[in-house]
A and B are shown apart, each in its own frame.
Chain A
Amino acid sequence: MRKVAIVGTGHTPFTFAAEKSSVELFSEAAMDAINESHLKSKDVQAMYVGNVLGDFSEGQAMVQSYCADDIGAFHIPSTRFEGACASSSLAIRDAFIWVASGFYDIVLAGGVETAAKMGTPLATRTFAMAHDSHYEYPIGLTFPGFFAMLAHLYCSKYSVPLEKLKEQMALVSVQSHRYGVHNAFAQFHKEIAVEDVLKGFMVCSPLQLLDCCPFSDGAAAVILTSEEKAKELTDKPVYIIGIGQSSSGKLSAQKDYAPRIRAREVSVKQAYDMAGIKPEDVDLCELHDCFSIASIISAESLGFAEFGKGGELWQKGETKIGGTIPINISGGLKSKGHPIGATGASQVFEIVHQMRGHVEPERQVEGVNIGLTDTLGGDGVLCNMVLQKGW
């Protein structure tokens, strides 16, 4: 298996309802990634594009093929990845495997979504398509509902008073907004306080408005190449040194582990083992904070805290710049935004730019050598990647 590097990146702003189409957004991110890699569209041998709901938001299926044609990568194989909110992580992971195998040398991978365009009722409906449509959606399950149930279960399983958990959850959102203010690509540029979170309207008890990430539009893309090709193209390659992916059943089928998402533990172990690292070796983590409680649950399964104690990381400031494990210095899904098909690629983009020292000075983490991404789709499609600075 060959070493695989990320040599170029692209990222549109993440926004409320976009005035561009999915093809336009993805093409912008894709061309930025191609240009940054000092390549031409015709050099791209294959494209892997995460997209979940283009069929509903724009009446546009098969976006991957139109994107390839749009950027002038005529007739290359282009494949769409659908793993709900983890779609573009799945795309990048597969791109990694194909380049590592030697089948391709240069692959473009990323994702795009225009979820905000749909408006809240239709977006809520279509996001809920990533629940079990026959056994759990009819009951009224929505995404906030799923994580709301995990939050209450968290309290009961770990004997954490709800008030205490709510405060910790609020701190997660507060930190995300604090860093998101400085991220030029972020949907929100606004600081919030714990009181703001605790007085927001109730979405699904105990989750209030500011416990929840927004619906967002945007795209992100990266170019992956073989190590040999990377050396020709850049003096700052970022290597993908570990990958993991796993799947889950509906929430009721996760009874033996909930509120843990067992699939995450399976996935991240694959990634850590492949990279030959442990959680304490991670310098920077971008994790899937679709809801405040989701961050706490994720941090525990990634190995950054004991089960039932993840919230203390935020309370003690360990997740900030200078803490033991800086988390979501991009602003995370909460403040940066969550165009679901693009989110995983955006996480990879962030880590590459942090390693290169290319982010805004107010949120630059110094000395990032190892970065971890964590993306969760639906009830439990998990994908993790370990990235290493290559210079």
Chain B
Amino acid sequence: MDYKLTFKEFNKALKRGKLLGLKCRDCGKFTCPPKMACQECGSTNLDIAELNGSGKVVTFTVSYVPSEGREAEAPYTIVMVELDEGPWLMGNLTDIDPNKVTMDVIDRSVKLGLRSKVLPGDTYSIGGKEAEGGFARPTFVFA
């Protein structure tokens, strides 16, 4: 069975500021990031759908100890966003100084910024054709 919406297609679209997901023909719910089967009911009866990229922050962290090769990024803010359509999507929150992020960001409305940050990949991840041009990082700003 072909994969309906691959990482490659999702990634290419996200780099252009377009958030793609899947809408289930059986239960009507959305899956994002994409998977083979519906996140909610497991059906593979899915259509590609564009999501609006807006939602609210459900949790966050500010990371001060990065992985090898990513030292220059720290500190940075990671948020988990509950999208308007239902799915949770992890991303970076960029329009606030990481040192000033507190519990107050929870429940704040956010939307995808115009341009996604991109991770070029490293020794362990750069080989894949599916990630040519790097990995798009959902990049949120306050709505």
- A341 to chain B minimum Cβ distance, whole angstroms, is 19
Identify the interface centre among A122, A141, A142, A205: most chain B CB within 10 Å of its CB: A205
Interface contact B60-A252, CB-CB below 8 Å: no
Q: How many A residues are at the interface, by size bracket?
A: 35 or more
- Chain B: CB-nearest residue to A202: B64
Is B28 at the interface (CB under 8 A from chain A)? no
A341 to B24, CA, bound (A): 39
Chain B residue with Cβ nearest A254:
B88
Q: Smallest distance from the beta carbon of B121 to chain A beta carbons, Å?
A: 8
Number of inter-chain CB pairs below 8 Å: 118
Map CB proximity to A onto B58-71 as digits: 1 under 8 Å, 0 otherwise: 11111111111111
Chain B contacts for A121, CB-based, 8 A? 66-69, 71
Are A156 and B64 also in contact (CB < 8 A) when A125-B69, A255-B87, A255-B88 are? no
B125 in complex: contacting residue of A133, A141, A150, A204, CB < 8 Å: A133
Asked if A358 CB lies within 8 Å of chain B CBs, one says no
Instruction: List chain A residues, Cβ under 8 A from B88.
Output: 251-253, 255
State whether A139 and B68 are in contact (beta carbons under 8 Å apart), knowing that A134-B7, A145-B78, A149-B60 are contacts in the complex: no
- Contact at B124–A125, with CB atoms within 8 Å? yes
Known A-B contacts A121-B71, A152-B60, A153-B58; A139 and B92 likewise in contact (beta carbons under 8 Å): yes
* Interface residue tally on B, bucketed by range: 35 or more
Contact of B78 among A135, A139, A253 (CB under 8 A): A139
B115 CB–A CB distance under 8 Å:
no
Q: Is the CB of B61 within 8 A of A152?
A: yes
Across the interface, do A152 and B68 meet the contact criterion of CB distance under 8 Å? Answer: no
Q: How far is the CB of B107 from chain A (nearest CB, A)?
A: 8
- A149-B78, A155-B103, A252-B87 are known contacts. Are A144 and B58 too (CB-CB below 8 A)? no
Give the docked Cα–Cα distance between A120 and B67 (Å).
Answer: 8
How far is A134 from B65 in the complex, measured between Cα atoms in Å?
20
A-B pairs with beta carbons under 8 Å apart, 25 shown:
A122-B68, A124-B67, A126-B124, A128-B67, A129-B124, A133-B125, A134-B11, A134-B135, A137-B125, A139-B78, A140-B70, A140-B76, A142-B66, A145-B61, A145-B78, A149-B80, A152-B103, A205-B101, A207-B61, A249-B35, A251-B80, A252-B80, A252-B90, A253-B39, A255-B87
The residues of A with any CB-CB pair to B shorter than 8 Å are 120-122, 124-126, 128-129, 133-142, 144-145, 148-150, 152-153, 155-156, 162, 201-207, 249, 251-253, 255, 258
